[in-house]
A and B are shown apart, each in its own frame.
Chain A
Amino acid sequence: MKRADCIKAIYPEFETCLVVTIMGACAQELYDLGHQENFFYLQHAMGLASSIGLGLALNLPQKRTIVLDGDGSVLMNLGTLATMARYRPANLIQIIFDNGSLLSTGGFVSHTASGITDLAAIAKGAGIPNVAAVSTIYDFMEAAAAAFDRRDLSVIVAKVEATGPDHFGMDLKLPENALRFERFIRENCKKIVENSRP
């Protein structure tokens, strides 16, 4: 299974969501399907895509937030899995594309490469209430549909090949992305002002 195919399969759902992606290959694959103002590409700060997603989801409970993550990035910030579980925003879905590789930085194998480290088990152990581990596109679609249907925090660990795009580049400067993303939310997402306590 290829990550690009997974992202393509659920891309139509993204229109009504906020989407945060990790750097490099994953960001490029999303961008190549067509940029939308509700996409934020975290091109550095490894590990924090999930934390940004958590901050968005907690503060915009009526908006679904999707995080497109990677094994290397998640391994750098395992703590946020526990923080996510503790505050359990019902509108947050984290999809971890586990390619067993630090693909965007030269393809070094990661701790998950030979199945030694099991990110789905870690997510469960962190207390994430809904965790799916999938390795075929059919199972991915099913897990994604279930996550979109339920109103509860979900993590999908999708085992994918360590392949990415053959080109990199976006017509979007990093602060420009942040400014436009903030503006999009300000102009399009109704805020529930009173009591956002989880």
Chain B
Amino acid sequence: MTVSRENSKALYQGIKAAGVRFITALPETWLIYLLQMAEDDPEMCLIEVAKEEEAVGIAAGAYFAGTPNVMLLQNHGFLGAINGIVSLAMLYRVPLCMLIAHRGHMGEPYPWHTQGGIVTEPVLRGLGIPFDYARDPAKIAKQIREAYTFSRSSLSPVALLLTRDLMEGEA
């Protein structure tokens, strides 16, 4: 299985259609085409960080500055960013729209991803962060738009979990 270029394109078009012009990201295999598209898009500002918690701060700065933005990361990065999410975004009511590659779940062949994959949903629930699974490329644009809208109306972090069904494919 490889990363689906077609579905990545649908995802990227969804990000653009939601009005997003600023992305903070930490690279990860499933995000490879998305990051390439962002890099090649003159309308998009892509900031790659050294650690995902930084992206929470940068996203907050972008929000204060009035720039529609999303974070692109994998679930282990989400787990590593939790104090930033709690003690900046949730404490101050700063919206975050997080598109999280959900590694380490059904079908996962790599052992190192599994623990993070297993705890991702319970951690999101424990934190009270609204989330949804994205599985269908036909629905992804609507899901991104709705996640973004909800983060802004609720002034809270919102997560969209990018599943294996969505991210992997034949080409």
Q: Which residues of A contact B (CB under 8 A)?
A: 40, 42-60, 77, 79-80, 82-83, 86-87, 174-175, 177-179, 181-182, 185-186, 189, 191, 195-198
Q: Are A55 and B43 in contact (CB under 8 A)?
A: no
Given contacts A83-B49, A196-B21, A58 and B62 within 8 Å (CB-CB): yes
Q: Which residues of B contact A (CB under 8 A)?
A: 21-22, 24, 42-45, 47-51, 53-67, 83-84, 86-88, 91-94, 155
Chain A CB count within 10 A is highest, among B53, B54, B55, for: B54
List of B residues within 8 angstroms of A49 by Cβ: 57
Q: Are B50 and A80 in contact (CB under 8 A)?
A: yes
Q: Are A55 and B58 in contact (CB under 8 A)?
A: yes
- The secondary-structure label for the interface of chain A is helix
Chain A CB count within 10 A is highest, among B48, B60, B86, B92, for: B92
The distance from the CB of A29 to the nearest CB of chain B, in whole angstroms, is 20
Partner of B57, one of A51, A178, A186: A51
Q: Are B61 and A79 in contact (CB under 8 A)?
A: no
> Which residue of the partner chain A has the closest CB to B94?
A178
In the complex the two chains form, what is the Cα distance from A86 to B58 in whole Å?
14
Q: Are A59 and B67 in contact (CB under 8 A)?
A: yes
In the complex the two chains form, what is the Cα distance from A175 to B57 in whole Å?
15
Chain A CB count within 10 A is highest, among B54, B57, B66, for: B57
The distance from the CB of A88 to the nearest CB of chain B, in whole angstroms, is 12
In the complex the two chains form, what is the Cα distance from A58 to B62 in whole Å?
8
In the complex the two chains form, what is the Cα distance from A189 to B61 in whole Å?
14
Given contacts A174-B91, A174-B92, A185-B66, A82 and B61 within 8 Å (CB-CB): no
List of A residues within 8 angstroms of B55 by Cβ: 51
Give me 19 A-to-B residue pairs in the complex whose CB atoms sit less than 8 angstroms apart, sorted by A's number. Answer: A42-B88, A45-B84, A45-B87, A49-B57, A51-B53, A51-B60, A55-B57, A55-B60, A55-B63, A79-B49, A80-B49, A83-B50, A174-B91, A175-B92, A178-B94, A181-B64, A186-B66, A195-B42, A196-B21
In the complex the two chains form, what is the Cα distance from A42 to B88 in whole Å?
7
In the complex the two chains form, what is the Cα distance from A53 to B84 in whole Å?
14
8 A-B pairs with least C-beta separation: A55-B61, A51-B57, A79-B50, A59-B65, A48-B57, A44-B87, A55-B58, A45-B87
